[in-house]
């Protein structure tokens, strides 16, 4: 079915899901989708995977440090962002300064050779950072604040720019300044690059609830949803936001009851928004030819739908599938997980990689399940726990 992801929680090469254990605080690991086996990604002998102290050179530490942000895999390379802390050596020598500096680094790690390549580095401050790397075709697209003067001092000295570089060449090309394309867009509010298609870049923003697009030259900018002006709030990527073949799929809070979510599809040509199902959803995922979602246990519009979702407190989570236009909705399986709740999934091939969070009166923890959409089977992997 070709599930494709926009999340940065997990990435995959089709055989493995690559993720960081322990809510992105542990070593990067490979989860085998066929068997559930877990192995460490790092090929470096003697690597201290769980260290939290990184030297400036990183020579003696893990090539993919804990808390790295994973973006995608291409040609057996993981692309990710990590951060190191260091001191300004000149200031340290001259003034005995102990001011700690931080550096953002976009890098790749070769799964075959174990080599890391630092591609792009910036000295992190309140403005200069690297954001939202996304591979589309032969190009890597990303946002960064770029100084407009030789010695930047204030926020006004920086502009948020969409940039790209050709994969394997890594030469930065600045496409446009967002404030020129959208003059009324709130300053220092970071959108997410949702998709690049047919010469246009599409963006969503959790903070503003807006959806907008423009050409790759920054021209012909248009809002599909200008949340503040329209009073249409609720574009939350935490529940899933996807682009596919000219449509944007997103979840939005139902006005009453407020904790419920509706699943929408929006035509990027006309801006028309359609609710795809009267089920209340907890999360959803869009594949090439189908939509998958979990029914909310907390509430449903009708008694029949409530029974279908499973009574609150039973710890049975119902997963449904439907076509991209909202038709042919049907149950494909359940996840039974006592004392647990599901978190947002990641999909690849015919399987979902879903984190389960569980607790007892004295212990809490998490584990992952691999859910096969073809037969509803569930494999549990990677359980951990800690005292409350």
Model confidence at 311: pLDDT above 80: no
Q: What is the mean pLDDT of residues 64-76?
A: 85
Cβ proximity of 217 and 176 under 8 Å: yes
Cβ proximity of 241 and 250 under 8 Å: yes
Which of 140-149, 211-220, 365-374 has the highest mean predicted lDDT (pLDDT)? 211-220
Omega before 257 cis (within 30°)?
Answer: yes
Q: Give the number of other CB atoms < 10 A from CB of residue 28.
A: 23
DSSP 3: B
- pLDDT (tens digit per residue) in 174-233: 999 998 999 888 877 888 899 999 999 999 987 888 899 999 999 999 999 988 888 777
Model confidence at 334: pLDDT above 70: yes
Which of 4-18, 228-242, 277-291, 307-321 has the highest mean predicted lDDT (pLDDT)? 277-291
Which of 57-71, 84-98, 344-358 has the highest mean predicted lDDT (pLDDT)? 344-358
pLDDT at 7: 44
Model confidence at 24: pLDDT above 60: no
pLDDT at 138: 94
Model confidence at 384: pLDDT above 90: no
pLDDT at 340: 82
DSSP 327: -
Candidate from 22-26, 131-135, 173-177, 247-251 with smallest mean pLDDT? 22-26
Percent of the chain with pLDDT over 90: 36
pLDDT at 92: 57
Residue 2: band (very low, low, confident or very high) from pLDDT cuts 50, 70, 90: very low
pLDDT at 313: 67
Model confidence at 5: pLDDT above 80: no
Task: Tell me the β-bridge partners of 120.
Answer: 106
Task: Tell me the β-bridge partners of 82.
Answer: 105
User: Measured between alpha carbons, how far is 112 from 75 in angstroms, rounded to an integer?
Assistant: 10
Q: Give the number of other CB atoms < 10 A from CB of residue 118.
A: 12
Who wins on pLDDT, 385 or 370? Answer: 370
- pLDDT (tens digit per residue) in 36-66: 788 888 888 777 665 544 443 444 467 887 7
pLDDT at 20: 61
User: Measured between alpha carbons, how far is 150 from 157 in angstroms, rounded to an integer?
Assistant: 9
Percent of the chain with pLDDT over 70: 84
Helices (H) then strands (E): counts for the chain: 5, 29
Q: What is the mean pLDDT of residues 251-259?
A: 77
User: Measured between alpha carbons, how far is 295 from 329 in angstroms, rounded to an integer?
Assistant: 12
Nearest Cα neighbor of 250 from 238, 214, 40, 166 is 238
Nearest Cα neighbor of 233 from 250, 215, 220, 247 is 250
Residue 93: band (very low, low, confident or very high) from pLDDT cuts 50, 70, 90: low
Cβ proximity of 177 and 161 under 8 Å: yes
Which of helix, strand or coil describes residue 360?
coil
User: Measured between alpha carbons, how far is 283 from 354 in angstroms, rounded to an integer?
Assistant: 11
DSSP 362: S
Most distant CA atoms of the chain, gap in Å? 74
Q: What is the mean pLDDT of residues 6-12?
A: 61
Which of helix, strand or coil describes residue 31?
strand
What is the edge-to-edge ordering of all strands in the sheet holding 222-225? Answer: 192-197, 200-205, 210-215, 222-225
The separation between CA 228 and the C-alpha centre of its own chain, rounded to angstroms, equals: 25
- Measured torsion, CA atoms of residues 172, 268, 208, 174, in degrees rounded to the nearest 10: 10
Cβ proximity of 373 and 350 under 8 Å: yes
- pLDDT (tens digit per residue) in 257-301: 767 789 999 999 999 999 999 999 988 999 889 999 999 887 888
Q: What is the mean pLDDT of residues 162-183?
A: 94
Residue 234: band (very low, low, confident or very high) from pLDDT cuts 50, 70, 90: low
Who wins on pLDDT, 364 or 181? Answer: 181
Instruction: For the chain, give the mean pLDDT.
Output: 82
Model confidence at 26: pLDDT above 80: no
pLDDT at 270: 93
pLDDT at 90: 61
| Host H or E run for residue 84 | strand 77-87
User: Measured between alpha carbons, how far is 278 from 272 in angstroms, rounded to an integer?
Assistant: 18
pLDDT at 343: 79
Q: Render 253-285 in DSSP notation, one character per residue.
A: E-SSSTT-EEEEEEETTT--EEE--SS-EEEEE
Residue 371: band (very low, low, confident or very high) from pLDDT cuts 50, 70, 90: very high
Which of helix, strand or coil describes residue 168?
coil
């Amino acid at each position: 079915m070709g599930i494709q992801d926009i999340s940065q929680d997990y990435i995959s090469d089709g055989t493995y899901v690559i993720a960081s254990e322990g809510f992105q605080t542990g070593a990067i690991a490979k989860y085998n989708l066929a068997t559930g086996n877990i192995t460490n990604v790092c090929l470096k002998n003697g690597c201290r995977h769980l260290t939290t102290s990184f030297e400036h050179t990183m020579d003696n530490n893990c090539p993919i440090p804990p808390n790295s942000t994973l973006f995608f895999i291409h040609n057996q390379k993981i692309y990710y962002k990590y951060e190191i802390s260091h001191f300004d050596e000149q200031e340290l020598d001259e003034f005995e300064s102990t001011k700690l500096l931080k550096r953002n680094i976009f890098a790749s790690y070769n799964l075959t050779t174990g080599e890391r390549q630092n591609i792009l580095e910036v000295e992190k401050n309140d403005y200069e950072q690297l954001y939202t790397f996304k591979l589309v075709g032969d190009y890597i697209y990303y946002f960064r604040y770029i100084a407009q003067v030789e010695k930047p001092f204030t926020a006004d000295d920086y502009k948020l720019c969409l940039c790209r570089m050709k994969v394997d060449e890594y030469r930065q090309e600045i496409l446009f300044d967002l404030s020129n394309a959208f003059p009324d867009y709130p300053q220092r509010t970071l959108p997410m690059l949702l998709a690049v298609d047919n010469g246009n870049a599409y963006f969503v923003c959790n903070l503003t609830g807006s959806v907008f697009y423009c050409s790759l030259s920054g021209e012909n900018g248009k809002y599909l949803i200008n949340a503040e002006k329209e009073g249409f709030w609720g574009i939350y990527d935490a529940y899933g936001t996807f682009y596919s073949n000219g449509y944007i799929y997103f979840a939005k809070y139902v006005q009453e009851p407020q904790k419920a979510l509706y699943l929408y599809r929006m035509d990027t040509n006309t801006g028309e928004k359609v609710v795809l199902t009267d089920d209340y959803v907890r999360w959803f995922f869009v594949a090439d030819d189908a939509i998958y979602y979990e029914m909310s246990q907390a509430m449903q519009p009708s008694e029949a739908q409530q029974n279908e979702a499973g009574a609150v407190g039973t710890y049975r989570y119902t997963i449904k599938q439907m076509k991209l236009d909202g038709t042919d909705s049907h149950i494909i399986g359940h996840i039974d997980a006592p004392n647990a709740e599901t978190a947002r999934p990641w999909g690849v091939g015919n399987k979902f990689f879903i984190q389960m969070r569980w607790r007892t009166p004295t212990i809490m923890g998490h584990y992952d399940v691999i859910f096969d959409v073809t037969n509803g089977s569930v494999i549990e992997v990677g359980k951990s726990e800690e005292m409350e």
